[in-house]
Structure 1
Amino acid sequence: MQAGDVAYLAWSDYVGMLRCRGVPLSEIKSRMAHGLGWAVAGQALTPFDDIAPNPWGPMLEVRQVPVPETETRLAIWADTPPLHFFLCNSLLADGSPWDCCTRSFMTHALADFEQETGLRFMAAFEHEFLLRGETLKPTTPFSMTAMRLVPQFIADLANALTQAGVQPETIEPEYGIGQYEISTAPAVGAMAGDRCIITREVIREVARHHGLQASFTPKPAPDAVGNGAHVHFSFVDKAGGNGSYDPKGTGGAAAVAQKFIAGVVRYMPAICALVAPSPVSYFRLGPHHWSCGYASFGIQNREAAVRICPSPERDPAKQGKAFNMELRAPDATASPYMVIGALVRAGLEGIRQNLPLPAAIDRDPSELSDSERAQLGIKPLPGSLGEALDLLDAEPAVKGWMSPTFYDSYVAVKRKEIEMFAGTDPRDICRRYQDAY
């Protein structure tokens, strides 16, 4: 540690931005108990320099209190000060969670899931992003050349992710020009959301050091390849095994996992407002994009909103370890905390209601006729953020996952985003979000 080092106290807000305040690193110990104050009207910020109408005004303040296990420090380059930050819970003066804290939204859902099922939730996000820079040249997707154009960036990224403790698993070129994908090992409980945020910030930091910009926007241009933030998830039982796996179940899914999937599919149209929550999200979300356009279930079907990813293991004794499920609608304009919270809440509804597993489809749902989709109970996902918010408002169960203040203030921010871009050329919308994310 050097004199002048700064530690950031950071939190993820309604629009998935990591807001922060900094303190001298020498003072961080004194801030661990009570953090730093923050005017909660900041929760009404859009991703830009606009603020939505909100119930707080200048009065209410919460404490952004560091979560010790999220401490992240990167000290890799001699010519760049370390990146040192903690993720925070937003707490009231009495130490109780603020009802509009996105991290608490997630942790309360996780606690309810464990209490009601005896299982712990485990998840990992895929991180698709675009690199931009004056020296970068277009090249062939999925190619070795795409990796070797930026070899030092790739090497530093692997080093930084390892130092950050997020356990990188793959770094690969993707389909889009300048697009890459990072996957990390899954984490249990709240750390799944924390690890997602840490990973994105590490990617951005390494890109900055190399004079590049990493953008996680869902769509850099209307006709460009999009970036998703798919979530792979499973359950951990008390013995440490995969509680979502049963070799006798459909696709290998245990009964509890089948009900969980059914709940997610049932509430998928409404939770789009929470997991694909920006105007630009709906340039990506739709048929033929390998993202999904319908609330559907499949096995190894990348056009299904929820899919089972069977284990590649041939040894029956090992098959359960790699079995997982995937939610494909989310993108990085959503707070990872809200994505996990919404996913877990929807799955819990399926368990509570004992919903049957939907029929697995083996093709793009858009290729089915209207009558075939109706027979299978497959509903279209919203085609715009406005439609998504209307579907959210029409679903009392989903609204009930949030306090009235959380719900009203969140919707106000999202309506503000819609208002800001009314009548705007889609290309300009994409550019704005590419710069913001």
Structure 2
Amino acid sequence: MEQIPERVTAGQTLNAHARARLGARAAETARRLTGQGIVAVALTWVDISGITRTKTVPVERLEHAAAWGVGMSPVFDVFLLDDSIVSGRHIGGPVGDLRLHPDLDRLVPMAALPGWAHAPAHRYAQDGTVHPLDTRAVLRRETDRLAGHGWSVKAAFEIEWAVSNKNGSNKNEANKNGSEGEGDGFFPACRGPAYGMTRVTELAGYLRDVLTALRETGVTVVQLHPEYAAGQYEVSVAAEDPIGAADTAVVVRETIRAVSMEHGLAASFSPKVEADSVGNGAHVHLSLWRANADGPSNAMAGGDGPCGMTAAGEAFTAGILHRLPALLAVGAPTVASYLRLIPSHWAGAFACWGLENREAALRFVTGADGERATAANVEVKCVDAAANPYLLLAALLAAGRDGLDADRGLPEPVGVDPAGFAADERAARGIDPLPSSLAESVAAFEADTVLRDALGEAVTDTVSAVRRGEIDLLDGATPQRVAAVTRWRH
């Protein structure tokens, strides 16, 4: 009998044997879930606007869903953040259907949603072929391409969010915060000093429940701390393979959202919660690894290159740096993203890199002496949580892979805030500002043949259509209006 892999990967087709294997595994999984009190499974995907969408099935239908999928319209990929719909050359309109198949390897009971489990979905056409807009499949394709050259990547997202009381004290305060109605504004649930222990004390029970729910869902939390803006926190998780990292990012956000609601609070992951405050980032940490006879080695450490990088680590990082303007159409994908991406706000508004420089778009992190061989990584700071995490990681890996192929080198590191240089000095040093608008980044993306080839024509065309749709949607809007429209969507 034909050997069917436990996981159907990008480029493979679901055939009768694969469907039978998936159904049998799902039946066993369903029995286990029923014993744990699970009654339903949410099959999720992240659309091009960065919003997690779902179809759900009762646990007793998991076997059928795994083998034959759950129907959905392809049109969701051209939804804008307000749920209006645009059309691209490949996707749009009411006609057509896809099938969602749960990834049984990544199915987890959600501690914050008793009775529910979560499974990221593979998306297939009716004939069993992988759909070209399945961004998990696009990311798997990029990891496979790197693996074909002997490389793997570890990745992790830092998740920043802002916590609001659900209703403000009065309507005037709501209007001041850019609200469109009572309760739509942002009202910080804690007001202690930035990074202060006071903020932990103010919401100690809430933060305890966030950490408990994440641990019980299987997420390894590295740290949690108060952030700069009022009501803002950040959680960091352990590095994983890229697909696992993106899956975890979705689970973390939905866990935080659920715990917040249970506490009578609301969580915003928007890149700009309030127009006059700092925004939420979703920084990506990446390290490049090579399998050796003595075990895997981190190309970000132990070399003779800048800050101890190997030649491969430098080339991979340089590839990302070189494509940052185009990458922003994927990683900073909303109009609100460019309210966050401003100089001297630790958002990385200039295309440069530096050792532990939080104003550089790429911050190189060595880790403490004694753990650099495992800890060294590059942090991409100019991206935010409005991004589809699968698509963002796929684009970053493609850029890094191109850097490896081209043997790119890094310019001199920047050790200060680039905004402190005069414009002519920045130009002399080759430090360019990143795009200041979504329109600029989309133009760079559309001109980038490396990303177009890596992501595929259907993805790149749909990204452009959705981004231009949002530009039109918010054309002429004030920063306050942009923040209000975006605040509760991601």
Structure 2 residue aligned with 1:109: 142
Partner SS for 1:400: helix
Residue in structure 1 matching 2:420, options 367, 372, 379: 367
1:40 aligns with 2:74: yes
Residue in structure 2 matching 1:144, options 197, 203, 217: 197
Partner SS for 2:84: coil
1:304 aligns with 2:371: no
Structure 2 residue aligned with 1:430: 483
Q: CA deviation at 1:62?
A: 1.5
Write the letter of the residue equivalent to 1:70. R
CA contact (8 A) 1:119 1:243 kept: no
Instruction: Show the 5 A alignment for 1:20-31.
Output: 20-31=54-65
Q: CA deviation at 1:87?
A: 0.3
Deviations 1:369-405 (A, max 9, x none): 3333333322221111011111112222222223222
Distance 2:368 2:287 in 1: 16
Write the letter of the residue equivalent to 1:61. D
Structure 2 residue aligned with 1:264: 320
TM-score (structure 2 length as normaliser): 0.84
Partner SS for 1:187: coil
Q: CA deviation at 1:122?
A: 0.4
Write the letter of the residue equivalent to 2:97. E
CA contact (8 A) 1:114 1:121 kept: no
Structure 2 residue aligned with 1:338: 391
Distance 1:82 1:69 in 2: 19
CA contact (8 A) 1:7 1:85 kept: yes
Write the letter of the residue equivalent to 1:266. H
1:60 aligns with 2:60: no
1:421 aligns with 2:484: no
Deviations 1:226-279 (A, max 9, x none): 110001111233223323322533112111110011111111111111100000
Q: Report sequence identity in percent.
A: 31
Change (3 A) 1:280 1:434: same
Please identify, of 365-374 and 197-206, the stretch whose mean Cα deviation from structure 2 is larger.
365-374
1:325 aligns with 2:382: no
Write the letter of the residue equivalent to 2:319. G
Deviations 1:81-126 (A, max 9, x none): 433110011112333221111112211111111212x121101110
Q: CA deviation at 1:4?
A: 8.4
Which one has a bigger Cα radius of gyration? 2
Distance 2:341 2:481 in 1: 18
Q: CA deviation at 1:310?
A: 1.2
1:253 aligns with 2:289: no
Change (3 A) 1:189 1:391: closer
Change (3 A) 1:148 1:111: same
Partner SS for 1:306: strand
Change (3 A) 1:24 1:3: farther
Instruction: Show the 5 A alignment for 1:91-106.
Output: 91-106=124-139
Structure 1's unaligned 5+ residue stretches are none
Structure 1 residue aligned with 2:25: none
Structure 2 residue aligned with 1:218: 271
Residue in structure 2 matching 1:403, options 456, 468, 471: 456
Count of residue pairs brought into register by the alignment: 430
Residue in structure 2 matching 1:6, options 22, 40, 50: 40
Structure 2 residue aligned with 1:69: 105
CA contact (8 A) 1:130 1:179 kept: yes
Deviations 1:105-153 (A, max 9, x none): 211111111212x121101110110001158342222111211111221
1:87 aligns with 2:130: no
Distance 1:282 1:247 in 2: 36
C-alpha RMSD of the superposition: 1.8
Q: CA deviation at 1:410?
A: 1.8
CA contact (8 A) 1:120 1:189 kept: no
CA contact (8 A) 2:45 2:53 kept: yes
TM-score (structure 1 length as normaliser): 0.94
1:285 aligns with 2:318: no
Structure 2 residue aligned with 1:128: 160
1:275 aligns with 2:328: no
1:156 aligns with 2:178: no
Structure 2 residue aligned with 1:350: 403
Partner SS for 1:357: coil
Please identify, of 54-63 and 415-424, the stretch whose mean Cα deviation from structure 2 is larger.
54-63
Structure 2's unaligned 5+ residue stretches are 1-33, 168-188
